[in-house]
């Protein structure tokens, strides 16, 4: 039942937060924090009851629509535990950074924020493909409202673009799911959407390739990878700070999770055949997005392109098909979720103070806002892969694992580590050094913002300096995923 309540608590919290703005101005914020605190407590309970011998910490399977073989099937293993933990952490950060930014319709804002988190948690728990699709679609609607109602000057365009791209991907995934289910029914006589039963399905090579392509495009849009990335810079730029934190920190991770949990294990032979194309797209994404990031003058748009670049490492590692690369993928997802969310929080704070995102109007802020400058420098060097911080661990393991699969793609991907310091240090130089703009000097971080940043800095340092507990948590699930692919190959 704990798995059910992990989803239900944010849903109920959102329902309570919506009308709470009429009771007290700050009530929706505290309701959101309470819901997240309860979810954090449930995660601790799951961790305390975990067994080291079983990859699945807990499962819940209720009959839902038996006529079509659809169950309310949830499952938590080490991989989904880590990603849900990241989701809850960044949920706290999204509420915290929206404390003063959101002044209108606070109840509805926190309702949509909590419902987005509930949908994401559902995606990470679902073990029925219909249920997975249901949560996949459900998390998009409140995210659309977060952008369109509380975003910036071009929010309607950005929200609609985000919704169209993700809906097209969702439609392709639904077609692929139905094709897989009907082919399984034709071969076995069993109509089911259950993940474990579909794992043992053997398909014709041509059918497997086409169905994999449907899943891949849907997940690559959300990741995003070239050439499906164009929605992300607009969505990030126009979203409120809390929305950007959720987009960068958790929604992008659902694309990688879908590839890792569903696409690759369900279609291992087609995935191995497709690997050179996928890894090449990942390597090109790394370089292309890094170069575009350096060309940006809008601070939030620059950080958005860095997210695309880092997700390129994820795509390379996913299709390298070895334990080191997959461990690197998980570490990159966690570390990038923290560093990118922190950078968007910094960009949102500067925009709140200066009413602009243009770096051309900034400069010399280190003297007047040293705390903002220090935190920005920390997360800039984290983003470029400084040893001792989380991003380095993930990217190093990805490159180490991908080297065994393709030396050329690894070399191209590694070139992204050369470009990353250029755009990262360019931000620090342009915003915090050089001549001051003469007007619009920001005030420094207060205690609330510094408290949020200290938590994020501690998390990045923890991953970078002592990653072993996280690697242990995802070790058994990743080994099972690799074994599943090897069994189908032979």
pLDDT digits (tens, 9 = 90+) for 346-389: 999 988 888 888 888 888 888 888 899 999 999 999 988 888 98
Mean pLDDT of 224-233: 89
What is the predicted pLDDT for the residue at 486? 63
The tens digit of pLDDT for each residue in 55-83 reads: 788 889 998 988 888 999 999 998 999 99
DSSP code, position 386: -
**Residue 13 clears pLDDT 90, i.e. is over it:** yes
Query: How far is Cα 245 from Cα 459, in angstroms, rounded to an integer?
Result: 15
The tens digit of pLDDT for each residue in 278-331 reads: 999 999 999 999 899 888 888 999 999 999 999 999 999 999 988 899 999 999
Confidence class of residue 159 from pLDDT cuts 50, 70 and 90?
A: very high
Angle at Cα 148 formed by Cα 144 and Cα 149, nearest 5°?
Answer: 115
Q: Which of 183-197, 206-220, 475-489 has the lowest mean pLDDT?
A: 475-489
**Residue 53 clears pLDDT 70, i.e. is over it:** no
Confidence class of residue 431 from pLDDT cuts 50, 70 and 90?
A: confident
What is the predicted pLDDT for the residue at 453? 94
Report the SS3 class of residue 467. Answer: coil
384 phi/psi in degrees, rounded to 5: -85, 0
Query: How far is Cα 334 from Cα 391, in angstroms, rounded to an integer?
Result: 8
Mean pLDDT of 45-59: 77
DSSP code, position 443: P
- What pTM did the predictor assign? 0.94
The tens digit of pLDDT for each residue in 78-124 reads: 899 999 999 999 999 999 998 888 888 889 999 999 999 999 999 99
Q: Where are the domains of the chain?
A: 1-266, 267-490
Asked if residue 73 lies in contact with residue 55, where contact means CB atoms within 8 angstroms, the answer is: no
Asked if residue 378 lies in contact with residue 454, where contact means CB atoms within 8 angstroms, the answer is: no
What is the predicted pLDDT for the residue at 73? 93
What is the predicted pLDDT for the residue at 3? 93
What is the predicted pLDDT for the residue at 311? 92
What is the predicted pLDDT for the residue at 438? 61
Confidence class of residue 152 from pLDDT cuts 50, 70 and 90?
A: confident
What is the predicted pLDDT for the residue at 141? 93
Helix axis angle, 231-238 to 299-318, nearest 10°: 140
**Residue 214 clears pLDDT 70, i.e. is over it:** yes
What is the predicted pLDDT for the residue at 427? 87
Dump the DSSP string for 25-58: TTHHHHHHHHHHHHHHHHHHHHHHT--TT-SEEE
Helix spans in 128-251 (H)? 129-138, 140-150, 155-188, 195-199, 205-222, 231-238, 241-246
Angle at Cα 145 formed by Cα 141 and Cα 151, nearest 5°?
Answer: 145
Q: Does the bond joining 261 to the residue before it have cis omega, within 30 degrees of 0? A: no
What is the predicted pLDDT for the residue at 416? 85
Mean pLDDT of 439-459: 87
DSSP code, position 155: H
What is the predicted pLDDT for the residue at 145? 94
Arithmetic mean of pLDDT over the chain: 90
Count the Cβ atoms, other than its own, within 10 Å of residue 295. 10
What is the predicted pLDDT for the residue at 439? 59
Asked if residue 231 lies in contact with residue 161, where contact means CB atoms within 8 angstroms, the answer is: yes
What is the predicted pLDDT for the residue at 421? 85
**Among the listed residues 359, 215, 230, the one whose alpha carbon sits nearest the alpha carbon of residue 304:** 230
Mean pLDDT of 193-219: 90
Count the Cβ atoms, other than its own, within 10 Å of residue 53. 6
From the number of C-beta atoms within 10 Å of its C-beta (0-12, 13-18, 19+), residue 408 rates as: exposed
């Amino acid at each position: 039942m704990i798995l059910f309540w992990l989803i239900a608590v944010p849903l109920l919290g959102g329902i309570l937060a919506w009308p709470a703005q009429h009771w007290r101005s700050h009530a929706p914020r505290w309701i959101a924090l309470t819901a997240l605190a309860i979810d954090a407590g449930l995660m601790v309970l799951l961790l305390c009851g975990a067994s080291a011998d079983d990859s699945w910490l807990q499962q819940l399977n209720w009959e839902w629509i038996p006529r079509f073989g659809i169950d309310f099937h949830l499952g938590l293993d080490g991989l989904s535990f880590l990603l849900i933990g990241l989701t809850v952490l960044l949920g706290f950060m999204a509420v915290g950074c929206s404390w003063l930014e959101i002044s209108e319709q606070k109840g509805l804002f926190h309702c949509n924020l909590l419902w987005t988190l509930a949908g994401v948690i559902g995606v990470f728990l679902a073990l029925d493909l219909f249920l997975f699709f249901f949560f996949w679609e459900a998390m998009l609607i409140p995210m659309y409202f977060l952008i369109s109602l509380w975003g910036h000057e071009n929010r309607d365009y950005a929200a609609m673009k985000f919704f169209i791209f993700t809906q097209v991907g969702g439609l392709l995934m639904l077609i692929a799911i139905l094709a897989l289910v009907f082919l399984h029914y034709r071969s076995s006589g069993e109509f089911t959407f259950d993940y474990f039963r579909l794992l043992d399905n053997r398909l014709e090579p041509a059918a497997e390739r086409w169905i994999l392509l449907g899943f891949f495009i849907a997940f690559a849009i959300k990741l995003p990878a070239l050439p499906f990335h164009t929605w992300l810079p607009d969505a990030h730029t126009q979203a409120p700070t809390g929305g950007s934190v959720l987009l960068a920190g958790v929604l992008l991770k659902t694309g990688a999770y879908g590839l890792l949990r569903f696409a690759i294990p369900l279609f291992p032979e087609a995935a191995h055949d497709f690997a050179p194309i996928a890894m090449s797209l990942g390597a090109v994404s790394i370089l292309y997005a890094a170069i575009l990031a350096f060309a940006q003058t809008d601070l939030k748009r620059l950080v958005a392109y860095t997210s695309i670049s880092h997700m390129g490492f994820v795509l390379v590692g996913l299709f390298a098909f070895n334990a080191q690369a997959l461990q690197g993928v998980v570490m990159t997802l966690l570390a990038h979720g923290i560093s990118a969310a922190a950078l968007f929080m910094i960009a949102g704070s500067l925009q709140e103070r200066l009413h602009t995102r243009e770096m051309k109007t900034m400069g010399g802020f280190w003297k007047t806002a040293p705390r903002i400058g220090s935190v920005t420098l920390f997360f800039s060097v984290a983003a470029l892969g400084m040893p001792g911080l989380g991003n380095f661990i993930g990217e190093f393991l990805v490159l180490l694992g991908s080297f065994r699969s393709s030396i050329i793609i690894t070399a191209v991907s590694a070139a992204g580590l050369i470009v990353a310091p250029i755009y990262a240090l360019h931000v620090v130089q342009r915003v915090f050094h050089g001549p001051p703009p003469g007007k619009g000097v920001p005030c420094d971080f207060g205690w609330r913002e510094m408290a949020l940043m200290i938590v994020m800095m501690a998390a990045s340092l923890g991953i970078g300096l002592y990653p072993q507990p996280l690697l242990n948590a995802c070790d058994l699930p990743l080994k099972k995923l690799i074994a599943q692919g090897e069994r189908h190959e032979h």
